[in-house]
Amino acid sequence: MAKYIIKGKKQLAGELEVKGAKNAALPILCAAILAKGRYHFSNIPELKDVENMLNLLRHLGLKIEKTAPHSYYILNEGVKTLEAPYDLVKAMRASFLVIGPLLGSQKEARVSMPGGCAIGSRPVNFHLQAFEKMGAKIVIDHGFVLANAETLNGTEINFPGVTVTGTENLVMAAVMAKGKTIINNAAREPEVADLCGLLNKMGAKITGIGSDRLEIDGTVELRACDYEIISDRVEAGTFIILSALTGGKIEIKNARLQHLSVFVKKLKEMGVDVAEKNKTIKINVPEKLNSIRVQTEPYPGFPTDLQPQLMVLLSQAEGESAIEETIFENRFMHVQELNRLGARIQVEGHRAVVYGGKKLIGAEVKATDLRAGAALVLAGLIAENTTVINEIEHIERGYEDLAGRLRALGADICLG
């Protein structure tokens, strides 16, 4: 298991360029299952999760060629197997995103059921109930979801809760269904909108993109196309927090602030000014940061994927801040680790109280999941002495060459 060794408190300055969005790239890669032909995808981040997804697509019979950094051709000459095996799904829960396009295009799929993960149990019942409502038969057998439908029929789906990958799976099935599908309470995340943008470019007819009501006219004829993935709002938010933590001398390129409006508003309440000029984001930090109250919510609310990183910034604010996590039941695993570094954070159920103004001092900690790991890197960079972060595989799933990019800013971070 690899680790990061960080000697903190170095002066950080320079530019960070945000890569393509992991959570847009993953469903978009899966959409290549839907229609034969040659796709060209650009701005794909070089991440372990992307590698896992490409391996799964290869297993299904698609051919993949890397044309340049962040760019891939995907050739679909026909899907060769309908099964996504345990090993490939276990490596990454987002592999479950192949079930929608397989069911849509092949009317059949056999996909290993994703297990729970560190941040919560993360069931897929909303996905499966929606497929059933479209006429699919769903059987769970020996840890696999078997789905098949003689015809998949458009229908009206009311998701009981907002689900990002559930919405994506359903949209990918519905574009090839017979008739119109309406999805109420659809996820509005920019990654869902990006997938819908690709599908429409392929010939699908989706309206209401970016709203919580999607209307999809089922079309049989879809075609391969070229597509550039949006930039990663979570990576951008993580870097904005890093800049705020280190005096605002880090500037951020290739970010879309319109995808981060509530996040930017919350930073403003803390006293941090985040502004875009000439496609560069600059951060202005006051002497003292204010404490705030934050609640995570589905988009456009405050993203759960930036909650751990924000906690590090709040640990440096004046007074007591409160965070309520409403999306995942167990997304406070980073709290114990941050407390090991000298933060004082108390958790009760879904709420955390962060007692600010605490000096962080290096210690050995472990990344329990991707965003928790990112928070520990931020903390390590501002802590005194040396911080060792174990299990950084989680971090590499979502941040491309993080250590290298931080070193270019002056950070002392190496792999151990």
Positions in the binding site for ligand EPU (CB under 6 A): 23, 26, 94, 120, 122-127, 161, 163-166, 191, 304-305, 327-328, 370-371, 398
Structure tokens given for 284: 């202005």
Q: In sequence order, what are the residues at sequence separation of 6 or more whose Cβ sits closer than 8 angstroms to the Cβ of residue 35?
A: 76, 105, 202, 203, 222, 223, 224
H or E element that contains 374: helix 370-382
CB of 36 to ligand EPU, least distance (A): 25
Residue tagged 């070193």 (tokens): 407
Distance CA 394, CA 375 (A): 12
**For residues 183 and 370, which CB has a smaller minimum distance to ligand EPU in the complex?**
370
Extended strands (E) in 364-407? 364-366, 386-390
- Beta partners for 316? none
Count Cβ atoms below 10 Å from residue 66 Cβ, excluding itself: 12
Distance CA 325, CA 295 (A): 6
Question: Residue 192 in contact with residue 198, Cβ under 8 Å?
Answer: no
Distance CA 375, CA 373 (A): 5
Determine whether 117 is an active site residue. Answer: yes
How many residues does the structure list for the chain? 416
Distance CA 248, CA 264 (A): 14
CB of 161 to ligand EPU, least distance (A): 5
**For residues 218 and 373, which CB has a smaller minimum distance to ligand EPU in the complex?**
373
Question: Residue 180 in contact with residue 111, Cβ under 8 Å?
Answer: no
CB of 166 to ligand EPU, least distance (A): 5
Active-site residue, from 30, 117, 196, 225: 117
The shares of helix, strand and coil residues in the chain, as percent rounded to the nearest 5, are 35, 30, 40
**For residues 12 and 84, which CB has a smaller minimum distance to ligand EPU in the complex?**
84
The sign of the dihedral angle between the CA atoms of 264, 316, 308, 235 is positive
| Amino acid in the structure at residue 220 | V
**For residues 84 and 285, which CB has a smaller minimum distance to ligand EPU in the complex?**
84
Hey, is 415 helix, strand or coil? strand
**For residues 187 and 317, which CB has a smaller minimum distance to ligand EPU in the complex?**
187
**For residues 127 and 259, which CB has a smaller minimum distance to ligand EPU in the complex?**
127
First to last CA, the chain: 9
Q: What angle do CA 87, 125, 51 make, to 5 degrees?
A: 30
Question: Residue 396 in contact with residue 48, Cβ under 8 Å?
Answer: yes
The sign of the dihedral angle between the CA atoms of 233, 234, 237, 242 is negative
Distance CA 258, CA 94 (A): 25
Distance CA 22, CA 397 (A): 9
Hey, which residues are catalytic here? Answer: 117
